[in-house]
């Protein structure tokens, strides 16, 4: 049986920006990933991108593909509410 992922609001995601709470989260295509363990996301900043938000539209600016998310486990889904 697959575990159902919890839903998080945009405000809950925004708090995981690398400064307000110890977790560093980002969202891509509706899934929330914890990137706290990545040295590339220290302090919630990765080049021109900031944690705590949906980065789906920003992927086209990145030098990598969406395969980069395979390195991280989805911990939740972004709520539409």
> Distance between CA 12 and CA 44 in Å, rounded?
15
Q: Is residue 2 part of a domain?
A: no
pTM greater than the 0.75 cutoff = yes
Q: Is residue 1 part of a domain?
A: no
- Is residue 63 scored above 70 in pLDDT? no
Which tokens is 65 given?
């593909």
Task: Read off the pLDDT band of 71 (50, 70, 90).
Answer: confident
pLDDT at 41: 83
Which residues fall within 8 angstroms of residue 12, CB to CB, at 6 or more apart? none
Burial annotation 55-79 (CB, 10 A radius, 16+ → b, else e): beeeeeeeeeeeebbeebeeebbbe
pLDDT at 17: 94
Q: Looking at the 3D structure of the chain, how many domains does it have?
A: 1
The CATH number that applies at residue 39 is 3.10.120.10
Residues 7-44: pLDDT tens digits? Answer: 999 999 999 999 888 899 999 999 999 999 888 888 88
């Amino acid at each position: 049986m697959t575990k159902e992922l919890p839903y998080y609001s945009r405000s809950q995601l925004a708090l995981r920006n690398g400064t307000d709470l110890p977790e560093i989260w980002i969202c891509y295509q509706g899934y929330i990933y914890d990137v706290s363990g990545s040295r590339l996301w220290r302090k919630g900043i990765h080049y021109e991108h900031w944690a705590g938000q949906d980065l789906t539209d920003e992927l086209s600016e990145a030098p990598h593909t969406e395969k980069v998310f395979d390195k991280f486990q989805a911990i939740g889904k972004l709520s539409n509410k």
